[in-house]
Amino acid sequence: MGHHPRVEASIDGTTRSFLFDTGATTVLTDSAQGRLDAPRRIASGFIRASLFERWTNKHPDWTVVEGASPALGGSPLIRVPEVEIAGHTAGPVWFERRPDRTIQKTLAGSTDRRVAGALGGSLFRHFRITVDYPNARAYFQRLD
């Protein structure tokens, strides 16, 4: 069992556990950088491939950028309109698809429970966050 923090968040009406990953970053390919009019590195999150596929099938209106990251031969990104965390709703939030086994071995192994992915700056930019590690609490204050 790892010692990295985990948070609960709700996306599309389902609450899941996520790694609290303030440094989650996606490096964009040239084509994705141009399409998004974004810098080479963007704050993002990561999500299990099986959940990514479920979202794309259920929500064809959610933006998907194929081959957005050179990771794993061209990982896509999905733009989730809103995420609910700590009683607040914020968005949009970008997630990079990662294989289920990668999420399980890399992320879930660093927390006390199985996670669906990692939440990072793409969501956290909307908040001032205070983390009380000794008491296992995080406090979110909406900025906008």
CATH number at residue 38: 2.40.70
What's the Rg (C-alpha) of the chain? 15
pTM of the full structure: 0.93
For residue 133, the one-letter residue type is: Y
- Using pLDDT thresholds of 50, 70 and 90, give the confidence band for residue 107: low
Domain annotation covers residue 85: yes
Which two tokens mark 50? 């099986």
pLDDT (mean) for 65-80: 93
Is the predicted pLDDT of residue 35 greater than 60, yes or no? yes
pLDDT confidence of residue 96: 97
Q: Report the number of distinct structural domains present in the chain.
A: 1
Domain annotation covers residue 27: yes
- Using pLDDT thresholds of 50, 70 and 90, give the confidence band for residue 33: very high
Domain annotation covers residue 24: yes
pLDDT (mean) for 45-51: 97
pLDDT (mean) for 88-110: 87
Its domain, for residue 40, covers: 6-142
Domain annotation covers residue 118: yes
Query: Rounded distance, CA 88 to CA 108, Å?
Result: 25
pLDDT confidence of residue 84: 98
- Using pLDDT thresholds of 50, 70 and 90, give the confidence band for residue 121: very high
CB neighbour list of residue 30: distance below 8 Å, 6 or more residues apart? none
Domain annotation covers residue 88: yes
Domain annotation covers residue 1: no
